[in-house]
Amino acid sequence: MRRVVLLLLVTAAFAAGQTSVTGYWDFQAPRTANNDGTYRETFFELKQDGETITGRFNPNGWREMQISEGILHNGALHFVISTPHAGAAPTRVVYEGTLAQDGKFTFASIAANGTRTPGELVRTSREAALPPPRIAPPALHDVPDNGLARTPPMGWNSWNRFRGLITDADVRGIADAMVSTGMAKAGYQYINIDDTWEGQSRNANGNITTNRKFPDMKALAEYVHSKGLKLGIYSSPGPQTCAGYEGSYGHEEQDAKQYAAWGIDYLKYDWCEARNVYKDEEEQAIYQKMGDALLKSGRPIVFSLCQYGHDNVWQWGSKVGGNLWRTTGDINDHWASLDLIGFGTQQGVTQLEIAQFAKPGHFNDPDMLEIGNGGLTADEYRLHMSVWSLLAAPLLAGNDLRTMSDETKSILMNTEVIAVDQDKAVNPVRALTPDVWARTLADGSMAVGLINRGEAPAPVMVTWKSLGIAGKKIQARDLWAHKDVTVSPDDYTATVPTHGIVMLKISEK
């Protein structure tokens, strides 16, 4: 009763403009779409001067921003976060709400496209609102090789298709489909849950928890294992993941132990909000921490680094125990994205330039596959599968395996192309010309991609001279047509479809 009176007084005082909103605030927005019982937190520091409100978004964090247009009038609070863009208008997100009975604001953010995200603005402490105290990065050392992933990992990941909607039931269904469609037989093994499985907060012992979409992770792992498959999970070295869920910051060993106890076989570890605490140059030490923790966990766990290719990760990824490391920003299901990742420059390099850093157990990761998600043509998806295979990239399908078309199946399960990807020698692919890529395979034959990035079908030629086999008797097989092709004494020319590829296996007779 006394509490209610106090709250009413606070509310009345606010309305009368007597109590200041100056202080730290937490905007808690339930993730209704994900339907997982969690809410996203965004922190503000506000300062009130009369009706004028100033302050900071994500105070002391990596993307701290000043709020603008702030006003508190008759219990209605309004401010704007305006993000500048070089050469374009700033993006405006409006935050507004009204004071509720209990001293909170019934609040919402309204994105530039009109999307309204409702929630509550709740007073919080400075400690909760600022990034956590910095834990000094450890001294560098070489983490012993875990012996896993001698060829690029193959499997599936939830993010590209499901984003935050992935559930336990979906994962079970995907595991079933992995077997029933023949994907498992073709070599796909890991079922990887990406971001949004995490609970709102850790339990009393500091253990990471799951949200209600994943009621029993151990039982799920048992189910996946019963299918002869392996289960992967996702976290961040930061206090939060990219989707704003609980990260592993300060709990690395504890989380690695928890994954082992659940029966997890693969961890994707995504830099994300580690940016709030560390500089890019500190990534090696921070990834090393989890590399050590996974080794100590007592269970073989593939370690997948995801820091978008910062800081030349290909030079140190294997030293921190990494089996694979992302080399690019996020892929999406559009030609421009595939073209940029496959052939463009990201983080100052092309995928070709860093191909030499892939070794058995340690691979460049140009991100997961979009094959079957619908945004590209079949020729573009064949190019996607082929270029990733020439690069010895991980093959992590990103589509819904339960509803694949026959065409998608024929692309993802082209075992002749998969054999190139999985070649044990892991020799680096080379560009003989920008459109002709070649990789020497363990048996001495060569995988050759004839690439057409143009907007019309075009002839592309490979010469035996450029492959160092001039004057030899050549046997050539088209890995998409699944047949041997007749070649000229000096070369072979194929008409390659728009945004397409012809993949050949060339050997001496």
Inter-axis angle of helices 217-226 and 168-180, nearest 10: 10
Q: How far is CA 477 from CA 410, 447, 457, 474, 503, in A?
A: 17, 10, 21, 10, 8
Q: Mask 380-399, x = binds ligand GLA (CB under 6 A)? A: --------------------
Distance from C-alpha of 431 to C-alpha of 448, rounded to nearest angstrom: 10
Site for ligand GLA (CB under 6 A): which residue of 120, 194, 273, 370?
A: 194
> CB–CB of 156/150 below 8 Å?
no
Site residues (CB under 6 A) for ligand GLA, limited to 8-37 = none
Query: Taking Cα atoms as reference points, which of 161, 57, 169, 88 lies closest to residue 372?
Result: 161
- Quick one: 282 or 330, whose CB is closer to ligand GLA? 330
**Pattern 145-184, ligand GLA, x by CB under 6 A:** --------------x-------------------------
For residues 179 and 172, give the distance between their C-alpha atoms in angstroms, rounded to a whole number.
11
306 binds ligand GLA (CB under 6 A): yes
Q: Beta 446-452 vs 395-397: how paired, if at all? A: unpaired
Q: State in angstroms the smallest separation of the CB of 80 from ligand GLA.
A: 25
Residue 424: CB minimum distance to ligand GLA, A? 28
Q: What would the two tokens of residue 161 be?
A: 């298709």
The active-site residue, picked from 145, 311, 330, 478, is 330
Where would I find the H helices in 100-251?
126-129, 159-162, 168-180, 183-186, 217-226
Encoded tokens for 183: 């994907």
Q: Which residue is nearest to ligand GLA (CB)?
A: 242
365 catalytic per annotation: no
Instruction: Give φ, ψ of 484 to 5 degrees.
Output: -75, 150
Nearer CB in complex with ligand GLA: 242/451: 242
Q: Are 341 and 328 in contact (CB under 8 A)?
A: yes
330 catalytic residue (yes or no): yes
Distance of CA 200 to the CA centre of its chain: 20
The span of 220-228, 238-246, 251-259, 310-318 binding ligand GLA (CB under 6 A) equals: 238-246
Stretch that binds ligand GLA, among 68-76, 108-116, 240-248, 422-430 (CB under 6 A): 240-248
Give the pair of three-digit tokens for residue 474. Answer: 């050549």
Which residue in 45, 246, 252, 270 binds ligand GLA (CB under 6 A)?
A: 270
Q: Exactly one of 36, 255, 265, 270 is catalytic; which is it?
A: 270
DSSP letter (8 states) at residue 492: E
Judged by CB under 6 A, which stretch of 107-115, 236-244, 311-319, 378-386 contacts ligand GLA?
236-244
Contact yes or no for 78/69 (Cβ under 8 A)? yes
Closest approach of ligand GLA to the CB of residue 358, in Å: 19
**Distant-in-sequence contacts of 200-203, Cβ < 8 A, 24+ apart:** 200/37, 200/38, 200/39, 200/246, 201/246, 202/246, 202/251
Q: Is 242 in the site for ligand GLA (CB under 6 A)?
A: yes
Rounded to an integer, what distance in angstroms lies between the CA atom of residue 368 and that of residue 333? 11
State yes or no: residue 273 binds ligand GLA (CB under 6 A). Answer: no
d(CA 285, CA 324): 16
Positive or negative CA dihedral for 139, 142, 147, 149?
positive
Amino acid residing at 332:
N
Q: How far is the CB of 394 from ligand GLA (least distance, A)?
A: 12
Pick 166 or 502: Cβ nearer ligand GLA: 166
Q: Which stretch binds ligand GLA (CB under 6 A): 35-43, 239-247, 316-324, 443-451?
A: 239-247
Residue 195 binds to ligand GLA (criterion: CB under 6 A): yes
Provide the 8-state DSSP code for 196. S
Region from 121-129, 241-249, 400-408, 440-448 binding ligand GLA, contact rule CB under 6 A: 241-249
Counting residues that bind ligand GLA (by CB under 6 A) gives 9
Judged by CB under 6 A, does residue 333 bind ligand GLA? no
Question: Is residue 502 close enough to count as binding ligand GLA by CB under 6 A?
Answer: no
Q: Does 243 help bind ligand GLA (rule: CB under 6 A)?
A: yes
- Of 34 and 427, the one with the shorter C-beta distance to ligand GLA is 34
Closer residue to ligand GLA, CB minimum distance, 306 or 376: 306
Q: Which range in 84-92, 134-142, 237-245, 464-472 contacts ligand GLA by CB under 6 A?
A: 237-245
**Strands of the sheet with 436-440, listed across from one edge:** 430-433, 436-440, 446-452, 500-508, 474-478, 483-485
Q: How far is the CB of 194 from ligand GLA (least distance, A)?
A: 5
Chain residues binding ligand GLA by CB under 6 A are 159, 194-195, 241-243, 270, 306, 330
Active-site residues, by number, are 270, 330
